[in-house]
Amino acid sequence: MHNVLLHIHPAKVSEASLRFNRTFGLGGMAALLIVIQIVTGILLRFYYVPSPADAYNSIIFLKSQVIFGQFIRNTHHWSGVFLLLIAFLHFLRVFLTGAYRDARKINWLFGLVLLLLIVFSNFTGYLLPWDQLAYWAITVGTTIISYLPLAGNGLRTMIIGGKELNAGTLQTFFNFHTAVLPFLLLVLVLYHFWRVRKAGGVLIPETDEKAEMVPVMPNLVFREFIVALVLLAVVLIFSALVNAPLHEKANPAYSMNPTKAPWYFAGVQELLMHFHPFFAAFIIPAGVMVFLAWIPFIRSGDKPTRHWFFSEKGKQSSKATALFAVVITVAGILFNQYVLNFEIAMPKIPALVSNGIIPLVILLFLMAIYYWIYIKRLRLSRSELVQVLFVFLIVAFIVLTIAGIFFRGKDMELTFPWRV
């Protein structure tokens, strides 16, 4: 163990990189959670049976007959949730400290791939219990694919192996979940580590460049150990206290009310309540992904400061933009829900226009006004402008996700969290 730990680290690291508020240890936490997922996942496989007839019963058996069965399942469930949250925070920290440039470009791209792999891991795992929640969440989630232009229907049929979820779908998802995706994750995480090292360790502010180099053992390794122990304790305690949900066995003839997509897709689902699926599930997410991948290649011309939010101006504009994003997203949801539904108001026009192009243009117009009135006067550098857009997208996404998870109740009407 000793040797392995020392192997993935260099012999010495800069003292500045050890400060907790530089990385918050988030990357390391994500790595530990992946290990937890693999260990608990392999344990689950000893009891789980991947067929529609038996899957649900095998989970019931696991819960009720197997010592620690419920606990292992809980751990796998909650650590899957934590993993996605932590990886997301790590991604935010990397962006907001400007650690995506130059030598770190490639790692940013592979990081995005890692994030997608974690989402797919969660998505394929979600189907496995074959309960009502799983069946309908995955039905809704995969039907979104059929709105892709041209190939959508064919692609969906290929992925789920038919028109409806069936035994083949479960088998495919099981294979991806317990073989293909873990293998890819493992390989890419190791590559990711190697890249961090190749770039000369984590990014530190230039003011700290003169900081002393200290041996990793014990300075870094001990810190990692403490973070790992605390995280492990949190995950295990959480899993001991809160059970992973399990509804009735899947019934293809009856949808629950409400039927929601898995929580990490709640944002896209909320978007679907307001935009034509072609925009909500395709144009907008694809646009955001392209933007994220493009970020390190936008020529900036300014020198990286490597400080959180670049500069004071960067901090100020980010705060204002976050506020703007919250206001416009909440207002947009309420307006579309209670005041004007474009599709109902304009029944003569195709939904793609009335419920797609029109609201999108209005949204872009409001963003442009915000830019002209406020952002333009700050005279931000190119990187700070990219940051403003990034902050807007992320905050809007978070608001949509919260709305979808906590504020959508029966019939998908807006309600308060305690009535959901």
Partner 1 sequence: MNNRIKHQEEKDNPTKSEISRRDFFGLIWKSLGVLVGIEVLGSITAFFYSAKNKSTTVAKQLLEAGPVSSFGMNSVTAFMGGRFYLARLQDGGFIALSLRCTHLGCAISWEEKRKRFICPCHSSAFDINGEVLNPPAARALDYYPVMIENGIVKVDIGNLKERNTFNKEQLTYAQ
Q: Interface residues with partner 1 (CB under 8 A)? A: 136, 139-140, 142-144, 161, 163-164, 252-259, 272-273, 276-277, 341, 343-344, 351, 355, 411-413
Contacted by 404, from partner 1, ligand HEM, none: CB < 5 to 8 Å by type: none
Q: Pattern of binders to ligand HEM over 182-221, x per CB under 6 A?
A: x--x---x--x---x--x--xx------------------
Contacted by 122, from ligand HEM, partner 1, none: CB < 5 to 8 Å by type: ligand HEM
Establish if 141 lies at the interface with ligand HEM (CB under 6 A): no
Beta carbon nearer to partner 1, 312 or 411: 411
Beta carbon nearer to ligand HEM, 136 or 342: 136
Q: Work out how close the CB of 28 gets to ligand HEM at its nearest, in angstroms, rounded to a whole number.
A: 5
Q: Pattern of binders to ligand HEM over 298-337, x per CB under 6 A?
A: ----------------------------------------
* Inter-residue contact 269 to 260 (CB < 8 Å): yes
Contacted by 273, from ligand HEM, partner 1, none: CB < 5 to 8 Å by type: partner 1
Tokens of 25: 């240890």
Q: Work out how close the CB of 51 gets to ligand HEM at its nearest, in angstroms, rounded to a whole number.
A: 13
* Inter-residue contact 268 to 281 (CB < 8 Å): yes
CA trace torsion 315, 373, 288, 349 (10° rounding): 160
Distance CA 387, CA 317 (A): 9
Distance CA 298, CA 124 (A): 34
Tokens of 151: 């190939």
Q: Work out how close the CB of 254 gets to partner 1 at its nearest, in angstroms, rounded to a whole number.
A: 6
* 3-state SS assignment for residue 215: strand
Amino acid sitting at position 1: M
Q: How many CB atoms lie within 10 A of CB 108?
A: 20
Distance CA 200, CA 197 (A): 5
Contacted by 343, from ligand HEM, partner 1, none: CB < 5 to 8 Å by type: partner 1
The candidate with the shortest Cα–Cα distance to 76, out of 117, 121, 19, 112, is: 121
Q: Pattern of binders to ligand HEM over 110-129, x per CB under 6 A?
A: -xx-xx--x--xx--xx-xx
* Total of chain residues touching ligand HEM, rule CB under 6 A: 51
Contacted by 202, from ligand HEM, partner 1, none: CB < 5 to 8 Å by type: ligand HEM
* 3-state SS assignment for residue 374: coil
Beta carbon nearer to partner 1, 256 or 393: 256
Q: Work out how close the CB of 174 gets to partner 1 at its nearest, in angstroms, rounded to a whole number.
A: 16
First to last CA, the chain: 47
Amino acid sitting at position 403: A
Stretch binding ligand HEM (CB under 6 A), from 25-33, 268-276, 282-290, 395-403? 25-33
Establish if 42 lies at the interface with ligand HEM (CB under 6 A): yes
* Inter-residue contact 131 to 56 (CB < 8 Å): yes
* Inter-residue contact 276 to 352 (CB < 8 Å): yes
Residues with Cβ < 8 Å from 155, sequence gap 6 or more? Answer: 145, 146, 148
Q: Work out how close the CB of 355 gets to partner 1 at its nearest, in angstroms, rounded to a whole number.
A: 7
Strands 12-14 and 213-215: antiparallel
Stretch binding ligand HEM (CB under 6 A), from 37-45, 249-257, 317-325, 397-405? 37-45
Amino acid sitting at position 115: L
Amino acid sitting at position 143: T
- Tell me which residue has tokens 């609201």: 359
Beta carbon nearer to ligand HEM, 84 or 325: 84
Residues with Cβ < 8 Å from 351, sequence gap 6 or more? Answer: 276, 343
Establish if 9 lies at the interface with ligand HEM (CB under 6 A): no
* Inter-residue contact 28 to 222 (CB < 8 Å): no
Beta carbon nearer to ligand HEM, 108 or 265: 108
Establish if 13 lies at the interface with ligand HEM (CB under 6 A): no
The contact set with ligand HEM (CB under 6 A) reads: 23, 26-28, 30-31, 34, 37-38, 41-42, 44-45, 48, 59, 73, 76-77, 80, 83, 87, 90-91, 94, 99-100, 104, 107-108, 111-112, 114-115, 118, 121-122, 125-126, 128-129, 177-178, 182, 185, 189, 192, 196, 199, 202-203, 244
